[in-house]
Homo-oligomer: A and B are copies of this chain.
């Protein structure tokens, strides 16, 4: 998606350790007018699939998923990272290893909000090693719902997540795939744009 790639080139910052900082518009400060355009693009790419629920994971997936949902007119459910007082024991659960936070945590979704008959689109901001997406897919599987696909804003094409998810037969649409990035020159090469 050209508009997104241009925004990443303009406002993204390449940091040490292959970190791409896009927190000025994607996952700390959020440009919701941009999110609306991302939603339209996901709708276009998944036009041939029936979807009646969007599943994401807290925290940075939630804003994108909620705006994207306005192009699908379906409810959003977000997987929670910790068990709160407000949730009864009746949950699906899965374990995720976080690259960003360097720790392992459980994600949960109440059984009330996911189950047979649901056709689920996973939405998240980043795909790197694929652990969060795998965890969400496991929740969908456990619930008996159908996994329609996964929509990612930025995929780090040089990490294993994309191949992992695609090799599992999950339909994956990433709006921008970073093939490589160079901290010193500040250049980003996107998949499809290579010379």
A87 touches B33 (CB 8 A): no
Known: A66-B66, A100-B84. A76 touches B30 (CB 8 A): yes
Q: How far is the CA of A102 from the CA of B85 in the complex (A)?
A: 9
Q: Mark A128-161, 1 if CB is under 8 A from B, else 0.
A: 0000000000000000000000000000000000
A78 touches B100 (CB 8 A): no
A59 touches B36 (CB 8 A): no
Interface residues of A in 28-43 (CB under 8 A from B): 28-33, 35-36
- Total copies of this chain within the assembly: 2
A101 touches B84 (CB 8 A): yes
Provide 24 A-B residue pairs closer than 8 Å at the C-beta atoms, listed in order of the A residue: A15-B86, A19-B86, A23-B87, A24-B112, A28-B80, A29-B75, A29-B76, A30-B76, A31-B75, A32-B70, A35-B66, A58-B59, A62-B62, A62-B63, A62-B66, A63-B63, A63-B76, A64-B66, A67-B67, A67-B70, A70-B70, A84-B101, A85-B101, A85-B102
A positions within 8 Å CB-CB of B: 15, 19, 21, 23-25, 28-33, 35-36, 58-59, 62-67, 69-70, 73, 75-78, 80-82, 84-87, 100-102, 109-110, 112-113
